[in-house]
Amino acid sequence: MSDKTWSGRFAERTDRSVEKFTASIDIDKRLYPYDIEGSIAHCRMLARSCIITDEEAATLIEGLGKIKHELDNGKFQFDESREDIHMHIETRLVEEVGKVALKLHTARSRNDQVALDIRLFLRDETSKTIVLLMNLKKVVVEMAELHIKVAMPGYTHLQRAQPVLFSHHLMAYYEMFSRDVERFQDCLKRIDVMPLGTAALAGTTYPIDREYTAELLDFSQISANSIDAVSDRDFIIEFLSAASLCMVHLSRLAEELIIWSSSEFQFIELPDAFATGSSIMPQKKNPDVPELVRGKTGRVFGNLMAMLTVMKSLPLSYDRDMQEDKALLFEAVDTLQACIDIYARMLPKIKINAEIMRQATATGFLNATDLADYLVIKGMPFREAHNCVGRAVSYALENKKELHELSLVELKPFSNLIEEDIFEILSTEAMIDRRKSAGGTATENVLAAIKAAKKEVNNFSKKSL
């Protein structure tokens, strides 16, 4: 009736519209290297367990190698009637090596096969994501080192709060990206479980050796429950969650880059090569790269939501709904990696307007807390000091001055404790460098954080993954 591998019990040919609707080849063809790698390991295990002969295994492996070559070189013919990448490779193998190809699927089903393929794929892509993030961390720490002298206003509620080092602000992102790396490393633990040999859902009657397959594919464990092995997509959801959180961090940085590059702030200037102009307004330079990173964050969140929704009511074990996982995962992987990579290229080329940033720390009463702390050290209770400085700020506002622009004569009425040494205390540099508490913005702290970070990024080895 038809050439499908499962057509035995069917009297009618599949409707073309159904073939089109159910086909996933356009998306899952990306899994071909993993599908072939998994099949080769499966063949070797079948031969070693005496389920097929060594000659048969050799023929199958050679055929699979040829098909891989065709796929690598764009010579492979795709056909929607063959549904997915697993069917394509198997059908092509029959053409290539004849009937023996029909033995490849012994003790296996597409349910465990696809679970294996996605795990192999995601293991590689998670490692790649970690490498990209480590590179971004390196870029961030180098930038922090280069601009160590730059002071800027730190904000709360997007209102100027207290001066900080620009490098301290950058190193906050370093910390976020470090947690992202940890999360992806943690994802790898759950990805590292070999599902093959589960067969459709219940295991198999053949005397297979799953530990051997796991060893061949470099997995550290095999799945413990066959039903779980074909039903589980938690590892995808975990990756999408970690990816979403990483996109939150990239997007927050995007927002800051956009604000900082505006005429209102002018803290930074984005490199021409990473911005675009307007077709109507000649003066414009638009921050497209950070805007798109911020925008693409929506896709990754969306794919996490979609994946959670796909899985939420599925009865055990495999359901075809799960075929939707790949489009969602692939898009998220590509989006995340593209965003990390473009940041690593763009950040070092950003021009930092140190003088404008420094100027911004001198207005807006960023030294009010320091004046209060000064009074506390001289013996005034904090609440009283807070009130006293509040009145001084109100006086300064009325006289259109900053606190450090008031003379000692003007300050004295607020408290007799104020003396000449106050002016040194209220300078931006002194305020920054006095914040020596662990994790604070003092230059010596930030330099130590940079030193430790440089050691970490330079010691990172891809081999550790």
Summarize as ranges the residues that interact with ligand ARG (CB under 6 A): 24, 28, 84, 110-111, 114, 318, 320, 322-323
Is residue 82 within 8 A of residue 91, CB to CB? The reply is yes
Catalytic annotation present for 69? no
- Closest CB 323 distance from ligand ARG, rounded Å: 4
Residue 114 or 240 with smaller CB distance to ligand ARG: 114
The distance from CA 278 to its chain's CA centroid, rounded to whole angstroms, is 31
- Closest CB 206 distance from ligand ARG, rounded Å: 19
Residue 114 or 422 with smaller CB distance to ligand ARG: 114
Alpha carbon distance 456, 325 (integer Å): 35
Alpha carbon distance 271, 275 (integer Å): 7
- Closest CB 321 distance from ligand ARG, rounded Å: 9
- 2, 7, 262, 278: the active-site residue: 278
Residue 29 or 160 with smaller CB distance to ligand ARG: 29
Residue 110 or 119 with smaller CB distance to ligand ARG: 110
Pairing of strands 193-194, 221-222: parallel
Q: What is the 3-state secondary structure (H, E, C) of 399-431?
A: CCCCHHHCCHHHHHHHCCCCCCCHHHHCCHHHH
Residue 67 or 150 with smaller CB distance to ligand ARG: 67
- Closest CB 63 distance from ligand ARG, rounded Å: 21
- Closest CB 352 distance from ligand ARG, rounded Å: 48
- Closest CB 89 distance from ligand ARG, rounded Å: 12
- Closest CB 9 distance from ligand ARG, rounded Å: 14
Alpha carbon distance 71, 56 (integer Å): 23
- Closest CB 183 distance from ligand ARG, rounded Å: 26
- 157, 313, 407, 464: the active-site residue: 157
Catalytic annotation present for 88? no
Residue 24 or 335 with smaller CB distance to ligand ARG: 24
Residue 26 or 72 with smaller CB distance to ligand ARG: 26
Residue 99 or 320 with smaller CB distance to ligand ARG: 320
Residues with a known catalytic role: 157, 278
